[in-house]
Amino acid sequence: MPNQTAKIVRFHRVGGPEVLKIEEEPIPEPGQGEVRLDVKAIGLNRAEVMFREGRYLETAVPPSKLGYEAAGVVAAVGPGVDKSWLGKKASTVPAFLMTHYGVYGEVAIVPVDALAVYPNNLTPEQGTSIWMQYLTAYGALIHHAQITTGDFVILTAASSSVGIAAIEMVKAEGAISIATTRSSKKKSILVEVGANHVIATQEENFLERVKEITGGKGARIIFDPIAGKGIEVLAQVAAVGGTIFEYGGLAPEPTPFPLFAALSKALIIRGYTLREIFADPKLKAKAEQYVFDRVEAGHFKPRIDRVFPLAQIVEAHRYMESNEQIGKIVVKV
């Protein structure tokens, strides 16, 4: 007789990694427009850390599930869902709110609209390591900024999975990436994945290096998940008419508006999230196809830093908070 229960990760209060608990619950059935995924691998994201801490765009209501990305096999479909999904390998795109769904566990209920088939040549660990990072980069760099040959693009926190995806995307479009990292420890790997220039911000003069690299023109596009006081320096290195995309809030302090730099350079400082892409079904499909084709062809290669078993979900979150990783942290189920 098959198992009637499954292990699911929940937290009953916001806080540090230790609030994550593995619990047994009856295997749920999908509702209207939903599927149940037998999960093989989970991709971790910084958003889940912030959600767990109570610092995210949405506020968790404990007991809460969490998690945006999982790869597995569709085991059940709900009313209104095409039965051809049954038995298919697929991964989830983050097209839902964690206040409604979460994929950390042995099974996950998700909307069918949040499923995507990943290339056959990928393992489940790789299949869960593509959508969040490449789609996030796509929306800002391809859809909005339309980067092209010769553009200078600054990518901060470049050793994150999104940062590495952005490096690959900038290279694929013929633009010039200027990746930042705090120390030179990660420099060689960022060059290896395709960064044209890498600046270790704690060891080098960021302003002078950008001036030198761009011939004094500055960067047309800046892609930044940190925000905080650092935005004032980013505004200084932006080109006239440049755009700063703020797609996260990793800095602990408030984010000032760099008024004089914005006025003198006619800067656009723009908040951006992946949800803009998912709001338009045609754009979502176009973005997913762009990523699928380049991953399948080997132009984009998801970099997995470390794999943890589900039993070590707390340790996996601690590792993410250490900022030691270069690429994606994956949990194998």
Residue that is last in its domain, among 256, 275, 294: 275
pLDDT at 3: 72
- The closest alpha carbon to 47, from 162, 154, 139, belongs to 162
Residue 144: pLDDT over 80: yes
- The answer on 227 and 212 residing in a single domain is yes
Tens-place pLDDT, residues 54-98: 999 999 999 999 999 999 999 999 999 999 999 999 999 999 999
Residue 304: pLDDT over 80: yes
User: Band of the pLDDT at 22, cuts 50, 70, 90?
Assistant: very high
- The answer on 42 and 10 residing in a single domain is yes
- The answer on 162 and 126 residing in a single domain is no
- The answer on 232 and 149 residing in a single domain is yes
- The answer on 165 and 113 residing in a single domain is no
- The answer on 85 and 197 residing in a single domain is no
Average pLDDT over residues 28-34: 97
Residue that is last in its domain, among 275, 295, 321: 275
CA–CA separation, 115 and 82 (whole Å) = 12
- The answer on 147 and 262 residing in a single domain is yes
- The answer on 217 and 189 residing in a single domain is yes
Residue 311: pLDDT over 60: yes
CA–CA separation, 326 and 121 (whole Å) = 22
Residue 75 in any domain: the answer is yes
Residue 205 in any domain: the answer is yes
What is the count of structural domains for the chain? 2
Scanning the chain, the segments in alpha helix (DSSP H) are: 46-53, 124-127, 131-137, 161-172, 187-192, 206-214, 230-237, 259-265, 275-278, 281-296, 313-322
Tens-place pLDDT, residues 89-124: 999 999 999 999 999 999 999 999 999 999 999 999
Residue 19 in any domain: the answer is yes
pLDDT at 65: 97
User: Band of the pLDDT at 1, cuts 50, 70, 90?
Assistant: very low
Scanning 173-229, the segments in alpha helix (DSSP H) are: 187-192, 206-214
| The one-letter amino acid at 187 | K
Residue 296 in any domain: the answer is no
**CATH, residue 15:** 3.90.180.10
Q: What is the pTM of this model?
A: 0.94
- The answer on 124 and 146 residing in a single domain is no
CA–CA separation, 71 and 85 (whole Å) = 14
Residue 196 in any domain: the answer is yes
Residue 31: pLDDT over 90: yes
Residue 295 in any domain: the answer is no
| The one-letter amino acid at 241 | G
- The answer on 251 and 142 residing in a single domain is yes
- The answer on 139 and 27 residing in a single domain is no
CB under 8 Å to 186, separation ≥6 — which residues? 159, 326
**Domain extent for 205:** 133-275
**CATH, residue 244:** 3.40.50.720
pLDDT at 2: 62
Residue 297 in any domain: the answer is no
Residue 282 in any domain: the answer is no
- The answer on 222 and 157 residing in a single domain is yes
